[in-house]
Structure 1
Amino acid sequence: MGLPAGLLDAGYTRLVRPVLFRSHGGDPEAIHEQLISLLAGVGSAGPVRALTRLLAGSAGRSARVAGIDFPSRVGLAAGLDKDASAVLAWRGLGFGFAELGTVTGRAQPGNARPRVFRLRASRALVNRMGFNNPGAAAVAATLAARNVYRGNGAAGLPVGISIGKTKVVDLADAVEDYLTSLRLLSPHADYVAVNVSSPNTPGLRSLQDAGALSGLLTALVRESAARASLAAEGSSQGAGPRPEGWPSAGEGAEPASADATGPASGDVAGPVPVFVKVAPDLTWGQLDEVLATCEDAGAAGLIATNTTLAREGLAPADQHLAGEAGGLSGAPLTARAREVVGYVAAHTALPVMGVGGIMTADDAMALFDAGADLVQLYTGFIYGGPGLAAAVNARDTERQEP
């Protein structure tokens, strides 16, 4: 069941975080890279992974959303594990699912450094990373090397993969760019998250407009359905045709390690669910258009929200960073994320993943109360460590009706 959340929190905030935040000259991105490298090593070692899960893992409250069984309702948000290298480590840190990426059709370096800024007094971050990642083919290879395929339980939790537009690809060609990522990554994803709301790729947020979003989602949902049909046909015929990137019949069907949990089959019936991640800066009218488009196109659900371009709520000590370009995350986003989640949940029957400004277990409970089916951590995990995931799981379990 793991150590108590309070003990994990104290150990991280008093011992680990001070050392981390001072390392690499205080460069947040270099620290992040070191952390992911460490977790990738932990994830590759079965005994270490088992010990980590024993110490830090927490059971949480299970849920079934969009046909996916989640061992707990708190997950890792996209942006922390961009290249999927640490995919095997997240269950041991108390998460019930992990969203990897954002991944683009082509490899790209992202924006120029420095591109991440820590606003400690505000418990916030500003980032303008720009979807730096090794590309969909490389991420698919990383997941295949770890035997992580849809539904086989090798990671110990459901795996979502966030996909975005390659910067050098024109908006007119965005659909094919997203389809490239879907084709390569869907065999490894329990769900795919369509990121059209990052503020750090020029023009990307225009894909939230009803017409552009409709064309994109319709193409992705149709492709997901077509690939599921082809995979099912191949499975029924034994050695029949399989979609590109899909394991051959029988391959990837068993968990990669003894501590894996979840479905035992690598062939999960049905299309890979497609979720859409929306910005917190949309008006209610714009959100209404997004919701109607998602429903009409057959999206499986919404993720609310991404980072914000607003700068309200910054502490005086952080005002000198307000002018840095990029998306703001953390405590200043808490109230707005709650508003958007509440609005989305009240205006659609589609499930909602709530993300943004979850810095405490109370913040997560407030998003659940607003209508979120699941929540994701990003900045809160950086500031609070695995103790925050454990605290959310504990509170959520306590509130579960008998």
Structure 2
Amino acid sequence: MIYFDNSATTKPYDEVIDAFTKVSKDFYANPSSLHNFGGKVEILVKQARKQISELLHVKENEIYFTSGGTEGNNLAIKGTALQYRSRGNHIITTRIEHPSVYEACEQLQQLGFEITYLPVNKHGLVELNELESAIKDETILVSIMHVNNEIGSIQPIEEIGKLLNKYPKILFHVDHVQGVGKVPLNIHQSHIDFCTISAHKFHGLKGSGILYIRNGIRISPLFSGGNQENKVRSGTENVGGIVTMAKALRLTEDKRKQKVTEMIAIRDYLITNLSSIANIQVHTDVNAAPHIINFSAIGLRGEVIVHALEAESIYVSTTSACSSKQKSISRTLQAIGVIEKIAEGAVRISLSYENTMDEAIIFMNKLEKILNNLNDVMRDTK
């Protein structure tokens, strides 16, 4: 099997599964309990928070545990809107955000907030002058993803943060779900107020995530109940998920330092060879993230190619896993100027540090045969 769908989810490390089993078996008490058993579990949560804060180069009390990227994004955006609506009702985001950002903003729009969706250029990047032009006195939040989950474009987050630093009333949220472990991000240097991370994107377990909230920022909680996470995110902690998320992040950072050059070489090989095939249009720029390649087979539908590759035990996707079953044209591809007929044939390859060049070579050989067969069938049916 060749698994090239790592932007949808990654395979948990063996060490992560082993640690989750041990924690779940031996440290199952509620960390909020007063007894000593609960206290031992609380220590594990504190240790994980410390490890994660050190890996992200932030303070321990700026780390809040969530259930993943969708919750983190909703908490940052809706929590800010509710907390600061007396200050203003205008939010700026982009046309190529993950559905958990885009649809959260659409919901707020229905509640009376004004949303500006910034366009992107042909490389999928926000223009700083357009962002600044969109700022109003009523603007309270800018939410821009670090790495696009479909085409891999890397937004100039540090430059955006420096620009927004001139506007102290505006808070800055970054969806870092696709970037973490692949594209480094200096949270403090980029003047980020909220940053979202999800464990299952870096070989942790589903159901665990992080929202970084800069010290001094207040936010309206979406869940009311207990006092967990400083009352920002009530609910009994997923201790096994939290502990193993810290382990997965450490292991992934180690692998990034050792293997990112190899990943870039695989990405470049795929882009070069895809570009050489007639009727293939590559949508990913060579300056994009090292793990995502998006292309279209002109005249074919993306899901047809996905299932043909699946028959060869090769797993890829069309768009974001959160949108792929809707069979709608990608907002991201439309935003960068890809026409509907070509966007219908879009396929996304997404790598992990476990993938090899041999797998990429096998993929290209299988893909060329599949495309030839599909094109022959189409000619015969005309």
TM-score normalized by structure 1? 0.26
TM-score normalized by structure 2? 0.26
